[in-house]
């Protein structure tokens, strides 16, 4: 079956603009995760969803970042008033569940965000 | 902050040799996973080892876990040029709810033909 897909694959934006990043998880996966990867910080957890709820938003770096998930499927990560330090690869992953071996996470190809 | 630290940061070997990468972590875990990443994009899941397991194999991969030392190792046997990539360990910390992963900084493996 299809893997996790993300769009766009690349996004270049000007400082101060808003951006939306989209993630399509593997069908049937109830858990969805957002991470970002940057040179200085490595791979960082941002937020996860179980169904449409986000029990853990602890990794969101500021209130400019938000995410939602609808229908237990597609998720969008929105960054408002982008800053240059937001430049990174944003990775989405999904898993069948949360516990034990069910949380093997399958990653999408990522969205490379560049803020000029 | 990163849970794991990986060692070495970079490793260069000849095709056919074995590659060993190590990962240390700080807190109790539910499981530990290893991922491969090519060219800074999506991560490919390699293997998951649970906290009550000590060793696991998958093809040319062998993973060990020592919870008393809070460390894990990934061995790739008979390496190939196609194994060239960055390898990350990731822990699902025991205190977490929701299975979020905390990643190490990664080991950059280069396999020369």
Q: Is residue A17 part of a domain?
A: no
pLDDT digits (tens, 9 = 90+) for A44-71: 999 999 889 988 888 999 999 999 998 8
Establish if A81 belongs to a structural domain.
yes
Give the total number of structural domains in chain B: 1
Residues B99, A95: C-beta atoms closer than 8 Å? yes
CATH code at position A44? 2.60.40.10
H/E run at residue A91: strand A88-95
pLDDT tens, B47-94? 999 999 999 999 999 999 999 999 999 999 999 999 999 999 999 876
Chain B residues near residue A43 by CB distance under 8 angstroms:
88, 90, 103
Structural domain including B34 reads 5-112
pLDDT of B40 reads 63
The total domain count for chain A is 1
Structural domain contains residue A73:
yes
In a domain, A18, yes or no: no
Q: Which residues of B53-91 are buried (b: 16+ CB within 10 A; e: fewer)?
A: eeeeeeeebbbbbeeeebbbbbebeebeeebbbbbbbbb
Q: Which site among B29, B36, B42, B93 would you substitute to test the A interface, given the most A Cβ atoms closer than 10 Å to its Cβ?
A: B42
Q: What is the pLDDT of residues A88-116, one digit of tens each?
A: 999 999 998 766 666 789 999 999 999 99
CATH number, domain with residue B81: 2.60.40.10
């Amino acid at each position: 079956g299809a893997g996790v897909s993300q769009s766009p694959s690349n996004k270049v934006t000007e400082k101060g603009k808003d951006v939306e990043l989209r993630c399509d998880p593997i069908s049937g996966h109830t858990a969805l995760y957002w991470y970002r990867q940057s040179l200085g910080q490595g791979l960082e957890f941002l937020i996860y969803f179980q169904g449409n709820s986000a029990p853990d938003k602890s990794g969101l770096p500021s209130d400019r970042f938000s995410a939602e998930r609808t229908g237990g499927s597609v998720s969008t990560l929105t960054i408002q008033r982008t800053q240059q330090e937001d430049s990174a690869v944003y990775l989405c992953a999904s898993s069948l569940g949360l516990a034990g071996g069910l949380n093997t996470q399958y990653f999408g190809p990522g969205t490379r965000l560049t803020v000029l | 902050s990163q849970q794991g630290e990986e060692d070495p940061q970079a490793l260069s070997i000849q095709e056919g040799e074995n590659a060993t990468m190590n990962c240390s972590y700080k807190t109790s875990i539910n499981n530990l996973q290893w991922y491969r990443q090519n060219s800074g994009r999506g991560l490919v899941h390699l293997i998951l080892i649970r906290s009550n397991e000590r060793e696991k194999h998958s093809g040319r991969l062998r993973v060990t876990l020592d919870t008393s030392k809070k460390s894990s190792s990934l061995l790739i046997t008979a390496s190939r040029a196609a194994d060239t990539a960055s390898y990350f360990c990731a822990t699902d910390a025991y205190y977490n709810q929701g299975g979020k992963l905390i990643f190490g900084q990664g080991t950059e493996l280069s396999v020369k033909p």
